[in-house]
Structures are given as C-alpha cells and as structure tokens.
Amino acid sequence: MPNKRVLVVDEESAFTRLLQDDLEQRAISVACVYSPGDEKGAMAFAPTAVVIDKEILANTSASLIQSFGNISHKLPLVLMTGADAKLTQDASDPVQAANAQIVATIAKPFEPNVLAELIDEYAEVSQQTILESEYISALIASNRLLDNLVVEFQSKHALTDGRVVGYEALSRLKTRRAISPATIFSGATDINLEIAATLNVVDQVMKLAGLLKGRGKGVPVSFNCSAILLTRSDFVDALCSRLQRHGNLSRSVVMEITEENRVANIRVVAEICHILSRYGLKVSIDDYGTGHSNIDRIAAISFTELKLDKEIFWAFCDDLLPITIIESIIDFCHMRGATMVVEGIETPFHLEKARLLGADQGQGYYWGHAIPPQYLVRDWCGSPV
C-alpha cells in the first residue's frame, strides 16, 4: 500500500519511542537509526523523508545521509534542535552531497503532530512496497538484529477489580517498534538467532520476577516461545539450566506458547512442557482461536493459562461471534483448572464484554502500553541479570 516512510536519526530515548508510536498510529511508517551500524536497515527502509538531530548530522552521520544521494528526487530533511547556517550555505555540506533538502527546523522536544504536519506537506507518497521482512533481513545481514532488540513489559489485570496480576515480556525492535515479534521471528529468521533472542528475553523475565518478588510485589512474569523452539534440545537444555539456577522463582515464570505457521510435533511439545513444569515453569497457550493447531494444543498440553486472541474477542464484541462459543471455551478452561485471559481490551466497552464472558484476567491498551522494565523497578539498570 502506498505510504510515507520517515527515517529518524537521533539518540535512543523515551521521546523517540513516543515519536515512533505516535507517527505509526497516523499511518506514517517510521524507522530509526541509533547506531552507525544501522545504515543497511535504513537503506532497506527506503525513506521518503529524513528527520535528523543537528548535532548527529554534523558529527557522525554524514555517510548515512550521503548514501541517499542516488535517489532521483531530493529527500525532504527536517533538522531537530534548530538551524545551523553552515548546513544551508556550504555547498559541500553533507545535506547537499546527499541530494537532500532542508525543509524545516524544529526544536526538541516537540509534539508529534508538528512533525506529522511537516511530513504530510513535504514527503512524497511512495508507490514502492517495502516488506517488513526486507528490513529484518538487512538487520540480520549487518549483524544488527540482536543489538536492536529490546524487552518491554505489558501488565495483566484481574477483571474483577483491575489489580495487576502479572506481566508479559514483549520483544521490540527499538529501530522499528511497529514490527511484531511474529514477523521478527518467522521462518526466514535463522533459528539460532531466535534461540538467542528468546533466551535473552527469558533472562530479563527472570530478572524482573526476582526483583518484584524481593520487593514483596511478586506476580508471574511471562515470555513468548514458539512451539518449534521446544523441539530443539539446545534451547530446552539452556532453559532448564536457567530454571534450575533460579529455583526460587518456581511458579513465578510463565511460558506462553505462541501460534505460528511453522508446524511442530505437538506430542514432543507436550512432553517438553511436562518436563519444564517440574522446574516450576507454568505453561500458557497464547493466541487461542487463531491458526490450525489450537484444538490439538489444548487437548495435549497441560496448561495453567489460556489466552483468547484479540481478533476472536473483537469478533464477539462486534456481534460476529455468539457468546455461547466463547463461554464454552472458558468453561473448558476452568474445568482444567486454568485461568482464562482475554487479550485486546482497549476500551470500557471491551472491559464490560470481557467481564460478561466470565473470564478471569485481561490485557490491552485500556491499562496502557508495554513499558521498559526500568519504569517498573527503579534500580533495574544496577541489578545483575
């Protein structure tokens, strides 16, 4: 679909995270460059406009901007933090060499709508389709995928009173926050990269679970795991080793088995889940209602939590799915002694509908977006993993 793509070159901060999220909600695709090694990803993104910090442009990023010099039209460029006379008067400056044109200067911090209006005015609508997988491939080729992955945590709430009853770790690309983990870890991504990334998330989950428990605020913390990883002995051995080392976190860590296109032997997965449960790991079935293997999964795997996919829940909210179907799922879940979690609760109406179903817990933007762990525990950066 034709769209506008904005490349932001700046230091990583809460401001740039907010900027990415806001512009994406306005249907403006955003990629960021935080490190010199991210140029290949930037080129694969093929921006139609560039927003760059003035000091970074002057000191470190001339080569990045010059890499856009072969583009047939002048890229509109917005300078952040103010104008620099040399950048507009010196014909040899990096902007001139890059076939770019300064169209505005804005002082940070600014409201995202200010930048959105500039992009709307100056950036061309691209007819070129850029697949998210192409961006991922560029990061992998430049060995920058793992360095660009960060972990954020979304709260889980009791539907009865709204109290926090857990957190879910979510992998994000800090340079392109809009790309989902399902795209990052697809069949095109090397399995060893996925193993390394997932184990990194596990480490962050155990760290948060331990810190919360030490402060008397212990709640379960979960991580996502593709079923295919559970058929890999190297991953399972590494996970068992971590669980054994952190035996004090028994029942505090939850593994959410995600739905995906890669088919794994469900009997093997069920057996591994049983082994992991001996180490105190709780098992959740994620994305229930999507894909083709959910019936097999809930029949074979001993789970303690079932998560109803948001699209299924929204279909019920829109009267496209009868309540009896979802009630039967919840009854089955409760019969197994498991907790039922509804995903995609974003409005008071959604909350009312989830309560009507008789589900136990909920997740969604109604309670806020996922946040970095340092906002949950103040001394996160000073604590060992």
Would you say 7 and 49 are in contact if contact means Cβ atoms under 8 Å apart?
yes
Average pLDDT over residues 47-55: 88
End-to-end CA distance of the chain: 42
What's the mean per-residue pLDDT of the chain?
A: 87
* Token output for 43: 């080129």
| E strand residue ranges, 61-179 | 75-80, 100-106, 149-158, 164-173
Distances (CA, A) of 366 to 102, 235, 348, 349, 370: 39, 35, 7, 10, 11
One-letter amino acid for residue 279 of the chain: Y
DSSP 72: S
CA–CA separation, 239 vs 317, rounded Å?
38
Residues 6 or more apart in contact with residue 270 via CB below 8 angstroms: 300, 301, 302
CA–CA separation, 64 vs 9, rounded Å?
9
Could you count the other beta carbons within 10 Å of the beta carbon of residue 383? Answer: 13
In the predicted structure, residue 95 carries a pLDDT above the cut 60: no
368 torsion bin: left (phi>0), alpha (psi -120 to 50), beta (else): left
In the predicted structure, residue 256 carries a pLDDT above the cut 60: yes
Residue 89 confidence (pLDDT): 41
* Token output for 257: 């088995």
Q: What are the pLDDT digits (tens) for 72-87?
A: 557 888 888 754 444 4
pTM of the predicted model over 0.85? yes
Lowest mean pLDDT among 186-200, 242-256, 267-281, 285-299: 285-299
Average pLDDT over residues 355-376: 95
